[in-house]
Amino acid sequence: MHRLFERFVLGYFQRKYPNLKAGASHIDWIVDDGFADFLPRMKTDITLRRGEETLIIDTKYYGNTMQKNPQFDKATLISGHLYQIFTYVKNKDTNNTGNVSGVLLYAKTEEEITPDNEYRMSGNRISVKTLDLSGEWEEIRSQLDGIAAMLL
């Protein structure tokens, strides 16, 4: 299902926004000494480009969108997902222009909390969005158009 979700979102942007270059892309690690052996390959789910602006979308189709710390009874974003999108964005924005943004896009679950947040981290915008696939098509389209608007 996660692949279907990823392909659905990518297909939407390719079809509805042909002016945005939409596709998966590889990102090189920024390494100071040129030594990149054994570093994992970074491949985005979706990269949208318009001029000098880039938006990296990492789709997530999981049973949970939040992690819970039982010790403090607190829900937070899943650390690994946030670290992943931040790493993609910072390694893509090689000149620290702030022209690269990232979105963690979750398929809505039964959880009470549905993230819809935007953060500024080290000069870049990182957003966390939840797409409700059980809603009416107009609402789904509106949410995806809102993501595309980040580049328009």
Non-local (6+) Cβ contacts of 71 within 8 A are none
Where exactly are the structural domains of the chain? Answer: 2-24+40-148
User: Is domain 2-24+40-148 classified as CATH 3.40.1350?
Assistant: yes
End-to-end CA distance of the chain: 29
Q: According to the model, what pLDDT value does residue 112 have?
A: 82
pLDDT in tens, 29-85: 999 998 999 999 999 999 999 999 999 999 999 988 888 877 777 888 999 999 999
Nearest to 55 by CA among 65, 63, 44, 64: 44
